[in-house]
Amino acid sequence: MKSSLNIVTIILCVWLSWGRTDGAQKRESGEVSFHRIQASSLFPSPSSSCVLSPRASNTKSSLHVVHRHGPCSSLSSKKADHDEILRLDQARVKSIHSKLSKKLTARDRVSQSQSTDLPARDGITFGYGNYVVTVGIGTPKHDLSLFFDTGSDITWTQCQPCAGKCYSQKEPIFNPSSSSSYSNVSCSSPVCDSLTSQGLVKQCSASNCIYLAGYGDKSFTQGFMAKEKFTLNSDVFDSLNFGCGQNNQGLFTGIAGLLGLGRGSFSFPSQTAKTYNNIFSYCLPSSPQYTGHLTFGSAGLSNSLLKYTPVSTVKDSSSLYGLDIVGISVDDKELKIPLTVFSTPGAIIDSGTVITRLPPKAYAALRTAFKEKMSNYTAAAGLPPLDTCYDFTGVESIDVPKVSFSFKGGTVVELEPIGVLFVADRSQVCLAFIANDKDDDVAILGNVQQKTLQVVYDGPGGRLGFAPNGWIAFPMTLALNADPVVSFFDPALDILDSAERKRSQRRNFGCTDGAQREKSGEASFHRIHASSFLPSSSSSCVLSPRASSTKSSLQVVHRHGPCSSLSSEKAKTSPNHDDILRLDQTRVKSIHSKLSKKLTPQYRVSQSQSTDLEARDGSTLGSGNYIVTVGIGTPKHDLSLVFDTGSDLTWTQCEPCGKNGTSCYPKEEPIFTPSSSTSYSNVSCSSPVCDSLTSQGYYRNCSASNCIYGVGYGDSSFTVGFLAKENFTLNSNVFDNINFGCGENNQGLFNGIAGLLGLGRGTFSFPSQTSMTYNNIFSYCLPSSADYTGHLTFGSSGGLSNSVKYTPISLARDSASFYGLDIVGITVAGKELEIPLTVFSTPGAIIDSGTVITRLPPKAYAALRTAFKENMSNYTSTMGRSIFDTCYNFTGLETVEIPKVSFSFRGGTDVEVDSKGILYVLNVSQVCLAFAGNGNDDDVAIFGNVQQKTIQVVYDGAGGRVGFAPDGCM
């Protein structure tokens, strides 16, 4: 790890005087209202290296976002001038205010722009602080650097032959005649007619549609409205409407054009909505040495800290994203600002505006509170229009009061320190907010305040989301680069404020609540060896006695462990935790999507097939799945299948893998060949079995007289092939004519596995089809580690524990496949949490073998987390990761006491989670609470497989119940 990623420990005193101040008293009392930062972190790094965004590097729908003047940019290295930044930023703000006040029509703005001879200078149409992404345009692909802008809809780039005039740009100008996929839009087309309603000017040249867009700083672009192929990493989109600019003048120098991310129909998110569902997110990096990301689609939005607020309607504009600000806090104290101060003008969020603009009364209150908290620092001259500045010359560390914004819906967003201050140089560091000129000018949340946050634009949901530490967290992303002077934090640094320092020192060896409970004899904690958190160095495998001795029982193995028959080294290495959690969240989103009726089966398949997917380790519905070996065909062909209680249809890859033999993903075992089996037969397209596919949630089609099935999953994986009948063998039990999918076209994240064994409640599931023998009953135990096998047992004669306690299966809304549960309570360390029953009953819950981490309603998770943290207060906390926000560092410890966690289900059934099911171990220095909160109150709760480890879980379909017993793997 580079030195720039090292943890920074701040030990120097901030204050210039040794007097007693309000801030000092707060720090001693443990209150957290200040960021303590090193003064040196405010200023540009001398490094010329570039650190790439992990998300943008690893996600095909994600782009790197760079600032054009930073080391990550391929464009000009001209340094930023602060006066120019602020002047051009003010020009953007005036443009927005003018647009919303109806002072200028679209034609007025263009004609005014064209009447002025504009110098070609560095800058941008809407301000200096915009960020750049690289997008491929045309066939063959021509990579171009475009500003991305949430305040604009139309995407455009300069085009040869520049019939009017083109400004200077770094990359070669796009030449439409060299692209085989380019076409002009007809002047008589509906697309051309809609230009005017989208705030643009429509003209015609012969039969071709001409667009004109003019901006508030008198910049403009004019050219052909056209259709072209756009490429984002490996995602390709045909026939997107864009502007092919033949006459472009103003402050765009160096950049090829603009990527419009507004709310209108011409915007890139709107035109790619069938793939990305009109959802995108970004994180602006803290400094120019880093790229951020711009990510399309919902994959990776797994942060449990992500909070949403509704998108409000912006007066006189359908393109801008409105927000309802309801309050501002400084030093954890809400300012006394009447709500009408914000509601009268309204507010928007904008990626192109640099500095946040506030209503005059709101800014005055913010400035007064900020100055009071910064009274120990030397004031400096203002940097117009910034009027509250400080001289930090000679200061080693600084306490910056925390600033947070409250939005409608209870969402509170705390700004990072880099979102509070704008740095000109060491002697001039300013409060990074500006007052609007008028009370009725719209407020604007600018990009300085958005740095390091994950900002999510959810078009279908009509909401905006915010989460901290967005630089680190998520996939489906584009990479950004920050302003080299304005940005001053390394997002990978652990900048410790006073409370975090206190937490890191908190663990002591005195009497604690947990120790007292232990002395009193209460058994509310697990005491375990810290070494058990580390992966076993053994390569041996311990088999399940039950699976070894019961003919209706199968060995259950984790695909990455020594018990797996998958032979490649890649499959046997420890799984990547980020992949596990990312794919687990994908499964959860797939479940939530299915239960919320967001996607039809046909849409899921068609959407999946339209994407070229990479084959990586993992599975369609999560990387933490378990494997059993089943015999298929005559003679028997043993295949490794993931078993899944959330799916019905069993399927495996089949030769010849499509017409060209290339439509199957790689796997370790030989692919099943139907022609070599004497018991194989295709299902007729006219049969009732084929007709029932649609009612079971699958896609149905026909090829000649053969029935074709299709299954699409939430991560864009899919399987398509013949619905067929075949012999299945479990140890010595043979079942004839089992309906299954013989997959001829299978793509996605299944690598290494032959297919899937469906254990859901539907008629296609394996338990349903073998119910004459096993009475629709099965059970399993997931082993505590990959060094052991568990068991999957069919029927009731395989040794169901006498201690099994049952709870009724409830109906999972909108799905006949999932096994519903009624959670009625959660207990931590022997104390039942105060959670209203409606918190669980409103969304409902399911149990799922494929989801790794249990997902809880937000209020239930918050209660669980609070109780757990109280009982773990003697251990050193550490940073969270992905969906985990409660983690600990157990380095150097021999034993650890973990509070017991148990779930109560309807019917009086209490299930104590094994100690292995409470914590998720990334490494010994990062051991996390193995639960996560759902994004919404009405998202179904999911009891995941980490929490099921070592428990015997019984699915009694005939009795309509699910049972649990401890020590189920013995």
Q: Is 440 exposed, middle or buried (0-12, 13-18, 19+ CB in 10 A)?
A: middle
Q: Give the pLDDT of residue 170.
A: 80
Given a cut of 80, is residue 807 above it in pLDDT? yes
Q: At a CB cut-off of 8 Å and minimum separation 6, what does 322 contact? A: 311, 312, 313, 314, 346, 347, 348
Q: Give the pLDDT of residue 273.
A: 92
Average the pLDDT over 231-245 and give the result: 92
pLDDT in tens, 506-527: 222 222 233 333 333 444 565 5
pLDDT in tens, 355-370: 899 999 999 999 999 9
pLDDT in tens, 259-317: 999 999 999 999 999 988 899 988 887 776 677 788 888 766 655 678 999 999 876 67
Q: Give the pLDDT of residue 368.
A: 96
Q: Give the pLDDT of residue 711.
A: 87
Looking at the chain, how many residues does it have?
970
Q: Active site residue: 490, 848, 914, 956, which one?
A: 848
Q: Give the pLDDT of residue 627.
A: 82
Q: Give the pLDDT of residue 721.
A: 93
Report percent pLDDT > 70 for the chain: 67
Nearest 5°: CA angle at 245, between 240 and 247?
165
70 or 932, greater pLDDT: 932
Q: At a CB cut-off of 8 Å and minimum separation 6, what does 292 contact? A: 53, 56, 64, 65, 131, 282, 283, 284, 285, 471, 479, 480, 481, 482
pLDDT in tens, 813-859: 656 778 999 999 999 999 999 999 999 998 899 898 888 889 999 99
Question: Phi and psi dihedrals of 517, rounded to 5?
Answer: -65, -40
pLDDT band at 419 (very low <50, low <70, confident <90, very high): confident
Q: Tell me, what amino acid is at 732?
A: S
pLDDT in tens, 175-192: 999 999 999 999 999 999
Average the pLDDT over 759-776 and give the result: 92
Q: For residue 134, give the nearest of 452, 487, 481 by alpha carbon.
A: 481
Q: For residue 860, give the nearest of 756, 931, 785 by alpha carbon.
A: 931
Rounded Cα distance, 931 and 937, in Å: 16
Nearest 5°: CA angle at 290, between 287 and 295?
110
What is the token pair recorded at 390?
Answer: 């400080």
Which of 15-24, 73-82, 273-282, 804-813 is predicted least confidently?
15-24
Alpha-carbon distances of 637 from 632, 644, 682, 756, 773, rounded to whole Å: 5, 21, 18, 15, 22
Average the pLDDT over 870-886 and give the result: 90
- 848 is an active site residue: yes
In whole numbers, what is the pLDDT of the chain averaged over residues? 75
Given a cut of 80, is residue 940 above it in pLDDT? yes
What percentage of the chain's residues is helix, strand, coil (to nearest 5)? 20, 35, 45
pLDDT band at 22 (very low <50, low <70, confident <90, very high): very low
Q: Give the pLDDT of residue 55.
A: 54
Rg (the chain; Cα; Å): 30
pLDDT band at 652 (very low <50, low <70, confident <90, very high): very high
Q: Give the pLDDT of residue 606.
A: 42
Given a cut of 50, is residue 152 above it in pLDDT? yes
Q: Active site residue: 644, 787, 885, 914, which one?
A: 644
Q: Give the pLDDT of residue 171.
A: 86
Which of 67-76, 383-392, 630-639, 935-944 is predicted least confidently?
67-76
883 or 186, greater pLDDT: 186
Average the pLDDT over 63-79 and give the result: 51
Is residue 817 within 8 A of residue 697, CB to CB? The reply is yes
Average the pLDDT over 908-929 and give the result: 89
Neighbour tally for 82: CB within 10 Å = 18
Q: Give the pLDDT of residue 397.
A: 79
Query: How far is C-alpha 481 from the geometric centre of its chain's CA atoms?
Result: 20
Given a cut of 90, is residue 646 above it in pLDDT? no
Report percent pLDDT > 90 for the chain: 35
Which of 36-50, 111-125, 168-182, 270-284 is predicted least confidently?
111-125
The model's pTM: 0.47
697 or 884, greater pLDDT: 884
Alpha-carbon distances of 70 from 56, 264, 686, rounded to whole Å: 17, 31, 63
Cis before 656? omega within 30: yes
pLDDT band at 14 (very low <50, low <70, confident <90, very high): very low
Average the pLDDT over 898-924 and give the result: 90
Q: Give the pLDDT of residue 880.
A: 86
Q: Give the pLDDT of residue 104.
A: 43
Q: Give the pLDDT of residue 234.
A: 81
| Look-up of token digits 């040196």 | 40
Most confident of 107-111, 526-530, 901-905: 901-905
Q: Give the pLDDT of residue 126.
A: 35
Which of 417-426, 684-693, 901-910 is predicted least confidently?
417-426
pLDDT in tens, 452-490: 888 999 998 899 999 887 654 333 233 333 332 222 223
Given a cut of 60, is residue 125 above it in pLDDT? no
Mark out the alpha helices in 879-949 (DSSP H runs). Answer: 945-948
Alpha-carbon distances of 869 from 522, 618, 874, 903, 935, rounded to whole Å: 19, 31, 9, 18, 21
Given a cut of 60, is residue 624 above it in pLDDT? no
